[in-house]
Structure 1
């Protein structure tokens, strides 16, 4: 597992500015890269040999999608209204 590509705490970035002192402090503790795009924090990772940049909202969406897929696989039925 590559720690620089393991994203966590993305929710802490939602609605914040890149220059926010709390964002700057948090970045010191994260192994993944957070970059400034238009004053907003974006998460940068390597995926299949390419550098990809995602918003914190996109990361949260990916997590929720994966959770729904896992629940559906366990339950054997489509998850709705979750």
Structure 2
């Protein structure tokens, strides 16, 4: 069995800034894995342990999102993939 969890980095603060084009301003704002996505990671790891499943995380974002993938791998996920392209800006 393969368990895939989609994760996203989100601003780690309660106030976010949006520029005049409607895009999220990330400069100076720490990013974290969406807390709800962390629940998915934890469940995937439980399934891995119970059913010998392969666990994979998938994220979309800028190259800095690799930090979230490394965190997921450190939690016990087997593989991690990042989709990154300028076309995803602001998503």
Q: Same fold (TM over 0.5)?
A: no
**Structure in which a larger fraction of residues adopt strand:** 2
**Structure in which a larger fraction of residues adopt helix:** 1
Larger relative contact order (Cα-Cα within 8 Å, sequence gap ≥ 6) = 2
